[in-house]
Amino acid sequence: MKINNSTALRRQTARPDDAGFSLLELMVVVVIMSILALVIMPRIIDRPDQARVARVKSDLAVLSGAVKLYKLDNFRYPSTEQGLRSLVAAPTLAPVPQNYAQNGYIDRLPVDPWGNEYQYLQPGVHDEFDIFTLGADGVSGGSGMDADIGSWGE
């Protein structure tokens, strides 16, 4: 009697006790995930303000780098009037840059975590240029989440 190779292979691989996960295994995984969620989630949920500040600092670093690239190409920083928009599209206000990068310096202008545009001054109060957000309240000054956060604090 000759046994077909495919039949022997099916007998070895298709055992009914290995057909899937048992209810007990699934419950163990759910319990482990619940415990992890209980331990990790409070740490994440309690820190939304810290996450917003971290995002602002990241945005400021990107914008500062783009402004410095603009200066490398055009030998001057964008003016306050040209603003950060000059990083996305070539400015039309004087002084018009002669060596503007073909695709700009960033794809789009970010907004701060509170939905406001970042502010730009050149010359800046703290440095050659200042990029900053007015904080949660959108008003200059303040403390806590209402405090101004700027490129000078990097």
For the chain, the structural domain boundaries read 48-153
pTM: 0.68
Q: In the CATH scheme, what is the homologous superfamily, with its name and number, of domain 48-153?
A: Glycoprotein, Type 4 Pilin (3.30.700.10)
The distance of Cα 128 from the centroid of its chain, to the nearest Å, equals: 25
Residue 74 pLDDT = 93
Q: Which residues of the chain have pLDDT under 50?
A: none
Residue 153 pLDDT = 64
Residue 11 pLDDT = 55
Beta strands 130-133; 149-150: pairing state: antiparallel
| Ramachandran bin of 122, using left for φ above 0, alpha for ψ from -120 to 50, beta for the remaining angles | beta
